[in-house]
Every structure is written in structure tokens, then in C-alpha cells.
Structure 1
């Protein structure tokens, strides 16, 4: 990469520039080639043609692990219901994005084999079968959950299980609330088959004319403005579609109701937007968001009792094949179980957990919170571990104090996903209105958050923030915040680099790491990167960062090869990686080379893993585990023994092509040994022999190894003792 021109020490731009820019072209990030092993080494790995598992099938096995949590009787009952809802949402998105992408490739005639050796059609066929098995298993888990809930006084019942008073209540509820918003849509020569929106729950109805005996199909959409399960009192709930189905005669007066069945369609909802300048990108994205709900169907779920004629009509009109139809027991769409999981039953949920303030940011004996800048200046590097360390009293307070501090001259921030009522956004608006320079890199293409990000981008622009929509051709996924502050001894930069989004809501549910630092070298690197993102400057290299799409892959591969050299020289060696997904073939091959050399490799992977561990002569020293639980394990950690001087990198990048090639990502090297030791201790706990986790076998199957140590519960207990 070429050199960018940073702000001279103590100088700043003239002032905030209102409006939008598109950022520099993606060639700002030139890719450095990774270390290339010699021919003999490479041949030893490439001899294993089946060394990569299929990423799509690996994802399904991740969701299978989520389903196993829903079936686990040792977990609190309502949390099991929540895992069922999460499983449903996960599978919905998988079909909307991944299956839809496969179908696009097949339709376009793209038959290139995946790294696993499978062609798109083979992958799709395997997905449709395996997904069907998972959905069948989900229905069984739900059926098993019903009596367990009943035993605790929570009943999910069908219409015929309601008593007369409950039916009377539902009749009134339907008449006063539901009926006014329903719109029955019939199909006849004058009324074409209606459009069925993605993920909506629908009633397919056959009505008959009492005189002519002619039958007609009609569709009634179950409105999403009401709770999925209707409360009839005493913690008893009935599906909303049952209430509607029992009162269909009011929608079709004078007609006979012959049959009623529920169904649900999943559509392609992945966006494909051509990029030009930022303003055109914004308009194109807004337009494409409106088109999203009209994507082609990729799955049809129907109630298992549906009449074959009705099913044939639906499949024909929607254009889905037999293999894309799933006949399932009612009720369909278990996302509504989130509401059941939220019932005020502390005895059936995880124990209440309240994050605490990091000890180095703890409030002093007064009513005022600690000064973040004093604390960071004193300790230099503060490693945060969310949700155990409070996001509100660390990262959020960092931005809020910067906005209110008269000594702060500028704030620079990336935003990928944030919450609807975001104190981070409010603080940035306050800072801009107070005359501070505020640069915000907003990634409006964050999947399924595009509409919210457009809305916040407009608000930031109107307040006077300089809003940049990242880099053309790349998503800006890195998690960076930098505050420039004038102090008695000159200008200082304070930086936060994290593994998770600046989202106060998900920060209570996602496990993430973040570094608050006053380290000058890190601040200098982050300043260069912001210049790259907002201007035309080009920086050749970073001293303390790895930046994708430039140096993350090559940097990781070089570190892996360094471990091989340490091992061969008899020095301490070892590699430990914690990530959401491990897919990239170049990094995996480097790990295989390390294993063949005898280096111990441990991977903690929440989701997809295309690496096959434990394969003779290929990956015998590689161990892969997965931890799922109360919190979503989201942090990315890359730890290397480094000949006895351990190095740890944290950041936003997973080991995936999209992260390393199509996103702006950042990894930062932890600059002090105490924080390196803290991360090493965390990994020691995760890989401990008694820690409850799943282990990946060489055939791609995950096996649960129950243990007395729950990783997250142990960290919660440590946090409580720390108070």
C-alpha cells in the first residue's frame, strides 16, 4: 500500500463537512502475498483432496448444536424455548441468503466446484435433505417441550383445548382487534394468485359456494402486529392462527369452509446492489430494500395435514419444487417462542446477570463516574471482556464523555450495526452539534440492518457529522473508535478497537473483547486507517495492526509459519484461534502445514469450520471445539506462542473469504503481557478437559462432551467475585 499523509501532530481539519462521501476506491487496500511454502511442503497438504468440509453443511451442523441446547433438560426450561426460536431464525436466514445464493448460481449455470469438491447442485440437494431432518427434529423437540412447560404451569394449547370462557375471550379478541385488520384474498378468474410475502404465516383456505358447490382457494395472512401466541390468562396461550381459523366464517359470510391449513414461504432476501458514488449507492439500496420482499421463493413450509390439491396449487403458483416443500406439524414458525421465553418466570430462566464495571474503570467513592481518559492514560491499555465487563460503563461512556468533554477536538467512529435507540448515535450527534469534528464511517450494507443504518446515517448527516459510506466494493466491518484530545502536554489519541459492534443491546448478549488504549503507535495506525477510509490517502503498512483486505490473511499465515520455525528450532510453539467461522483455504492449509510439522493447534469455532481435525498425516495435532450457551461467543482471537514471547491479536476478522477479501477488517496486537496472559487464561479455560463443549471429528460431525465446567457460568462467577 502507498503512504497516506496523517494529520500533523496537533493539527486538525478546518471543521466538519456536512454531507456524504463514498470513500476511496477499494484498490486503496493492496494485498500483500502470504508466505508461500516450498513445493514439497505444499504437495504434502494438497495430496489430501478432501481436506475441506463444505461450509454450507458445516453451518447446518452449527444450527444442529443450537437445537441440541433446546433439547437439553439441564438448561432452564424457558431458555430451551428461546433456543428453539433462535434455531428457527437462524434457519430462516440461511435459506434467505445461502440457499438463495446457491439457487442463483445454479440458474446462472455456474457449476464450479466448492473447495469441498461438491458442485452447487450437490450442495443444494444435501442441504434440502439435511435441513428437512433438522426441521423434523425441531418439531419433536417442541412436542417434548409442551408437557415440560405444562408441568410448570405454562400451557401452549390448540383451540379445541380451550374452555368455554377462554373461547369466549378469543371470540371477543378476534372481533375487536384481529378482524378489522384481516384481508382475505380469493383466487378466481377475476383475482389472480396473491403475492405471499417472505416469512409471513398464512392460512390457506378452501371455501365452497353452498348452491353451486364450486370451490375456491383463498389466502388469509396472519397479521404480525399481534403476539404470535395469544394469552388467555393463567399462563395459557393459543396460536393466533387458531383464533383466526375458528372465525373464518366472518371473513367468508355465506360460504362453507371446507379446509384450512397454515403455510409459510421463505424468499431470497439477499441484496445485490451496484455501487457508484455514495449518494447513488444510498438511493439504490433504499430501492432494493423495497424489492427485497419480492425475491423468488426458496422454501415452502406447510402444515402436514394439508390437502394434496391445496399443496399442488401452492407449489405450482409459487414455483417451488417438491424437494423445497417441507410438511411439518403445526404450529409453524416457532420464532414466537421468544415471547414465551420472556415470561416473568425467573425460576425457569438463567439467573439474573448484571455486568460490572471493569476494575480499572470502576467508579470512585463519589456520585460521579470515573474519568475514562484519566483511567486509560493511567493504565495505558485496558482489555474489556463483554458482557462480563459492562459496555455502558466502558465503551459507551468513552464516547459519551468524549462528546461532552471540551478538551476533545475530534471523534472518529465506525458503525456496522447499532441498536434502534442508540446512545452511541446520540453522543455523536451531541458532539457534532457542540462543534467537534465527527467522522462516522457507516456501513449501510450490513445485512438485514440496512434500513436502520440508512435512518441513522441521515440523522448523523443532519447534525453536521461527516458521514462516509466506507469503501467502494468493500464492507467496512472493523470496530474502531478514536478520540483526539488536547491536553497540557499536547494532542493525544485514545482508541478503542473491538471484536463486536457498537450496539448496547447486543453487548449484553454477545461475548466480545475490546481494547481501550492510549498507545501512540496504535493510535497512529488507527489514524492512518481512518484517513484511508475517508480520504484518498494510502498507507503502506501498519505497525500494530493487520488490516484486510491488505494484510490479515498474509499476516496470519506468516505468524503460522513462524510457529513452524519455532517448533523446528525447539522453541515454545502453539497456535490457538477463537473465531465465529474458519473457512479460508489459505489459512487452513497453513494450519495443516503447522500440524504436519508437529505444532499444536487449537481452534474454538462457534459456527462454520471447513477444517478437518484429527486426520492422519494431515491434522493430527489439531483440535477443534465449539462452545454455545447463554451468550453468543463472538470474539475473534489469534494467539501464538511465538518462541516463548506470546502474541495475541484481537479484532473483527473471521477466517472467511468475505472477511479477508471483501471487508475492511482490523486485528490489533495486544501491547502488554498482562492482557496477553488474561486472554491465554481464557483460552486455557475454554480448552480445559472438563469444560462443556462440542468436539469436531475428522468426518465433520460434532459430538458433545458434557463437562462440569460451563465456560460462561464460570466467567460470570469470576465477575461476581471481582465486585
Structure 2
């Protein structure tokens, strides 16, 4: 009987708190907004992303900590902190970042945007003509939808919806002299946050391109119309964030849809308030009233010196000022698939004898896709579309975690079902903040004849897999796509992801068995090529790390390189420390949370961690093991997080073609030597090397290569000037 290695543990002092590490990641996002070399509207975009990230962090992570605190949980996190200590540390770490964001908005972004004709004007600074127009707009478009809610002994404190922007109004009755409090909700869900004013009303010459005033200020400065006969003595803005995490018991699949729909109804209303943001100038008496009304503690209150909810800055990307944005990136069709585009055959761009089906291309050899540089539409969607229309295709099976609202993927699946093929879609209803969208897709697919399932009870299906079964010469052959990203055309242009198209029979057999595991009662415990969580992924990853330890201890070079979104699993971290102490060289590219401490003498001095933040969201996962000169490399959907290894269905695939493996090795080299990368120190601090001159910046380099039509797998790693933005 073989005894399994005991799970390694990591001492608390060698583990960085995951919540604090996440805040460090979000600071690196904010740093993109603060970078003066970045186009102005891109600065606004990254500031918006910082705010949106923070909203989700409070709705989920902070909400979880507060729930633990209220439940009397005293157990420590992996770094030895109680829930209360974590909440206090989060607050201390966030306060200076919030002030940095507001300083950038107030003192840099607004003024520089105005120089290029994009004016964001405070109501108090409007000229007479602009103010007259704005007041008329208030009366016609805003006033009818507002509902002032008084707070007094006969009117209880109103419910404040999640992430809503509100005005706290102080009004006085001139007859009684009594001061009253009322809340007015800003209708930002139905009206734009920035109310656009006709540019010909501006005093500036030449006329600006875009002039706007914040919606909440339009409401606040017209409160007298809401309270006729009363004296408005003050107005102050506030915003609440509520617990929005859905807690679902393990239910039978038939009940899951109904349970989720009920959960979503509750989420829209919101759980307990976990953050109260107030304007910095709000009097303490008003803050106290809001605290009592929303049942929050002083540590939940954040005074903000500037506009609340800066995630709405994202809407400025629609302003027609291309010189203030990055040049649009247009991906290419992967060279291997250039003659496999049905649309080119149909419009006469290529002759019939020049066209070859995508199945012929994949049979000839594996195809590695790299988005957004390779177009999703001419690769994954083309694969699905040809499968949907090909009479020889008998079945299509795939997982859907997140997909776009105008999804070509879903349209292809529906068409395939209408064409008589067996079509199965595993729709993950529990994809956080995308549940409603996925419920609607599931209903539409089912009504079109697609077999829809919702995965394995107790596990979230996060894997990105697609299987096409085709009858060829009296036998069934399988064609497979395994990726790191969602089947989503929109995000494929915003995220960096990898995908593998292959006709390898072992991959096909593995996916057949994996789909049986997902849809039936299979208890599959091993696979031919794939590493599958929660079945074999953790154990195999640990084996691969231990193999590098054995190589190092035997005098052979031990070497690990990996790229992922997050590294927080304690057992993997402990094993990496052991590997470092054995002499294994470990190079990690971690975009987000990293709980490992690199560069500690005698503990992790052979470990290097860098983080790359750029124009595209880094989302691909690559795992490379040197194996004493016979390297193995894998791509897939899983990070080194406990949830990915133990509580989700994930698939990680080996890339065995030497040319494709070489391409991934070069890609890892680019990331590890990115001149703009953030380097992590042993205390968890990150520092960024200044980008100067002819510097190698991964995303810029890859965009340049693809624009030049080069095949990166066969060209040397070079340098490219410019910004990663």
C-alpha cells in the first residue's frame, strides 16, 4: 500500500493575508490610472476599474469577514489574524489608496481632460446659460422620478439599496423652526451619471467636445423644488454597499434554478450594509443618523473627499476623443486557421480548392490560440459554427461559465440542436454576478432543444472545455478545445487567454469521461492526459513540484515557471518553500493575490514573483516544469487556490507539441522580463521598474508581433517601445 505524502503546512508568519494581498493588487490597478504616460481616458477607465473591483471586494470578501465576526467566529486566518483584525487592517490599507484616487481625479484628471475639450463641471461652476439648461432638464427629466423620503417618528429610516447614490437633505420648517432630514435617491440606473450639456452654451473657445455635470449635483441643487415651503439648509451625498454574496445549500439540479432566482431577488434588495461612504464634508450628526439607519459601526464608514462611485468614469470611454484612448487593437485570424474561414469561402475571398475545414486543420496538428491577439470569432466561434452546420458532426458538448449577451456561441449551439445534433451545455448558474444572465441563457437553450445541465452538486464548474464528435470513415473522432478563458466574445478582446484545439484521441476520450462525470453519476478517478479538479489536479501538481525537488537534490537542475491569477493555497505555498530550500529555481507571474513571501533568506531565496498589469487583463494560466531538460507545460482554467484545486471542476491540459511548448516558454520569458512588471518583496510589497526607452513590454510586444503577421512561436524574443497600456 502506497502512503500519500502528508499535506504540507505553512507557518502563519510565512503566509501573507489574502485580503491584504488583494488590496495590493487593486493598488497596482490604480497605479495604471495614476500613470501620466497613459492616455487620459484610459486613466479614467482604470480608476473606474479600481472602484468596481473595490465594490465587489466589499460585497463578497468584507461581507464574509463581517458575517464571521457577527457569528462569533474566533478561528484565525492562515496568517494568524482574527476576522476583526483583518477588517481593521483592510481599513488602514484602503484609506490612503482612496485618497490617492480622489487626488488624481480632482487635481489631475479633470483639468487635463478639460484641456482636450472634455469638461466635467461642478454645478456651482456652471455659467448662467448652462445652469438654466440644467435646471430645465431637472424639471423635465429628473424631477418626476424622484421620491423624497422623510425620516421622523412617523416615517422610519428608508431602505437604501446596494450601491445606490443618495442625497441626505437637511430642511427646516420656517413656521416651527424644526430641522428635518430626508433622503433622495439619485436615479443613476435610469439616467446617465454625467448629464451632458449642449456644448454651444460653454464660454470656452473653441467649443468643448463634451460638457457634463454630475447627476447627483443636479438633484442636490434643485432640492427646493422637492420641498416647497421649506428651507434647504444642506445636502450631502452618501452611498452604501451591501452583502451581495449568494449562499446556496446543495440542492438537486431541478431546484437550483428556482433557488438561484430567489437568491437573486434577495441580492437585488441586498443583505446587511458592509460599507457606508459619505461626502467628507458631511456633519457628524448626519453621519450618526445614517449609521443608525443602516446599522453600521464607525469602522464601516468611509469619508470620501470627492465624488462617490467613480466606477461611472467608465462611461466617459464613449466620448469621441480617440486621441485620449489607446489605439484600437485588432486581432488577427490565427495563421493555421487562415484558410479555414467559411465566410471567406462564401464571399469569394478564397477559392473552393483553397478552403479547408477547421477539422482538417486540427487533424493535421494542434493549434495554440492566444487571445486577444488571435481573434475569438475566427477561432473558437468558427470551430463551433462549422460544427453546428457540418452534417458529419453528431454531438457538441461544452461548459458555459460566463458568456456575452449577444453570444455567437449560444446561437451556434441552438442552430446545432435545430440541425438535429446532440447538444449538451453545462451552464454554471453560480458564476458570481453573472447568475441572472446564465439563467436566461439556460432557459433559451432548453427551449431550443439543447440538453442543459447545471453541474455537480457541491462544486462550481469553472472549467473551459468544448467537445465535438464527428463521424469520419465509419468511426467517431473527437475534436477538443480546452482554454483558460470564458466562451465570451466580448471579454476575449479584453482579457489575455490561451486555448488549445486538438484532435488527440486521448484528450477526446478524457473529455467524454469528464462530461459523463459532470452530467451523470460517474465517479471517474483518473484521466489519460487531463489534470482534473477535484479529482487529480492537486495531487498531480504536488507530484510535479516534488519531482523538481528530487531533481535538485540529485544534483540536476530543478526549475518551475508558472503564470496564474492568484496563489493562495497554503499547501502549495509550503511545497514551493520546500522546493526553494532544495535549490529549485521558481519563477512566478501572479497577477492578483499572492500569499507566498519570495526572497526570504534560507526559506524562499530561490523564488521570484512578478505581477504584470497592462491594457488587457492578464487571465491565462501556464504551468511549466523543467524536468531535468525534458520540460512539461500545461495550460488550463485553474489557479493555485484552494477553491480551484478542491471545490471547483477544473481542467488543465498538457501542451505536448514541441513548437507550441516553445511558444509558451517564450511567452513566460516575456512576462518574467517585462520592463514594467511589479516585483514582489518578502514583506509582500511590490515595486515597479520605470519603463524607459526601448523596453520589453509583453503586451505591446505581442500586439506588435501580431500586427506584423509574425508567428511568435518561431521568432526570437525582441523589444518593443511604448507603453503596456
> Over residues 87-106 of structure 1, what are the superposed CA-to-partner deviations in whole Å (9 max), with x where a residue is unaligned?
00000000000000001111
> Over residues 467-500 of structure 1, what are the superposed CA-to-partner deviations in whole Å (9 max), with x where a residue is unaligned?
1100100000000000001122521100000000
Cross-structure match for 1:367 = 349
Which has the higher mean CA deviation after the structures are superposed, 559-568 or 196-205?
559-568
Residue of 439, 445, 453 corresponding to 2:438: 453
TM-superposed deviation, 1:115? 1.0
| Alpha-carbon distance between aligned partners in 2 of 1:89 and 1:401, rounded to the nearest angstrom | 38
SS state of the match for residue 14, structure 2?
Answer: coil
Number of residue-to-residue matches in the alignment = 683
Equivalent residues of 1:67, 1:87 under 8 A apart: yes
Cross-structure match for 1:166 = 130
Equivalent residues of 1:549, 1:662 under 8 A apart: yes
Residue of 137, 161, 178 corresponding to 2:142: 178
| Alpha-carbon distance between aligned partners in 2 of 1:320 and 1:33, rounded to the nearest angstrom | 51
TM-score with structure 2 length normalisation? 0.92
TM-superposed deviation, 1:709? 2.0
Cross-structure match for 2:656 = 671
| Alpha-carbon distance between aligned partners in 2 of 1:572 and 1:357, rounded to the nearest angstrom | 39
> Over residues 284-322 of structure 1, what are the superposed CA-to-partner deviations in whole Å (9 max), with x where a residue is unaligned?
111111111330000000011112211110011111111
| Alpha-carbon distance between aligned partners in 2 of 1:347 and 1:276, rounded to the nearest angstrom | 52
Cross-structure match for 1:126 = 89
Considering Cα pairs closer than 8 Å and 6+ residues apart, tell me whether 1 or 2 has the greater RCO. 1
Equivalent residues of 2:558, 2:583 under 8 A apart: no
Residue of 219, 226, 231 corresponding to 2:191: 226
| Alpha-carbon distance between aligned partners in 1 of 2:577 and 2:393, rounded to the nearest angstrom | 48
- Residue 599 of structure 2 corresponds to residue 614 of structure 1: yes
| Alpha-carbon distance between aligned partners in 1 of 2:504 and 2:453, rounded to the nearest angstrom | 26
TM-superposed deviation, 1:535? 0.8
| Alpha-carbon distance between aligned partners in 2 of 1:287 and 1:279, rounded to the nearest angstrom | 14
Cross-structure match for 2:173 = 209
Equivalent residues of 1:79, 1:348 under 8 A apart: yes
SS state of the match for residue 183, structure 2?
Answer: strand
SS state of the match for residue 665, structure 1?
Answer: strand
Equivalent residues of 1:34, 1:558 under 8 A apart: no
Equivalent residues of 1:360, 1:382 under 8 A apart: yes
Q: 5 Å matches for 1:8-19?
A: none
Cross-structure match for 1:17 = none
SS state of the match for residue 103, structure 2?
Answer: helix
| Alpha-carbon distance between aligned partners in 2 of 1:458 and 1:625, rounded to the nearest angstrom | 43
- Residue 316 of structure 2 corresponds to residue 340 of structure 1: yes
> Over residues 9-33 of structure 1, what are the superposed CA-to-partner deviations in whole Å (9 max), with x where a residue is unaligned?
xxxxxxxxxxxxxxxxxxxxxxx99
- Residue 216 of structure 2 corresponds to residue 236 of structure 1: no
Residue of 658, 677, 684 corresponding to 2:669: 684
Equivalent residues of 2:525, 2:535 under 8 A apart: no
Which has the higher mean CA deviation after the structures are superposed, 567-576 or 226-235?
567-576
1:149/1:34 Cα in 2 relative to 1: closer, same or farther (>3 Å)? farther
Cross-structure match for 1:601 = 586
Equivalent residues of 1:56, 1:127 under 8 A apart: yes
Cross-structure match for 2:28 = 65
> Over residues 168-195 of structure 1, what are the superposed CA-to-partner deviations in whole Å (9 max), with x where a residue is unaligned?
2212221221112111111123321110
Equivalent residues of 1:111, 1:120 under 8 A apart: yes
> Over residues 384-432 of structure 1, what are the superposed CA-to-partner deviations in whole Å (9 max), with x where a residue is unaligned?
0000000000011111111111111100010011111111111111111
TM-superposed deviation, 1:236? 1.8
| Alpha-carbon distance between aligned partners in 2 of 1:608 and 1:33, rounded to the nearest angstrom | 33
TM-superposed deviation, 1:275? 2.2
Cross-structure match for 1:528 = 513
1:370/1:142 Cα in 2 relative to 1: closer, same or farther (>3 Å)? farther
Cross-structure match for 1:29 = none
TM-score with structure 1 length normalisation? 0.92
Cross-structure match for 2:717 = none
| Alpha-carbon distance between aligned partners in 2 of 1:54 and 1:550, rounded to the nearest angstrom | 27
Equivalent residues of 2:557, 2:584 under 8 A apart: no
TM-superposed deviation, 1:258? 1.2
| Alpha-carbon distance between aligned partners in 2 of 1:417 and 1:34, rounded to the nearest angstrom | 36
Cross-structure match for 2:114 = 150
Contiguous gaps of at least 5 residues in structure 2? 200-207, 711-725
TM-superposed deviation, 1:342? 3.0
Residue of 119, 132, 139 corresponding to 2:102: 139
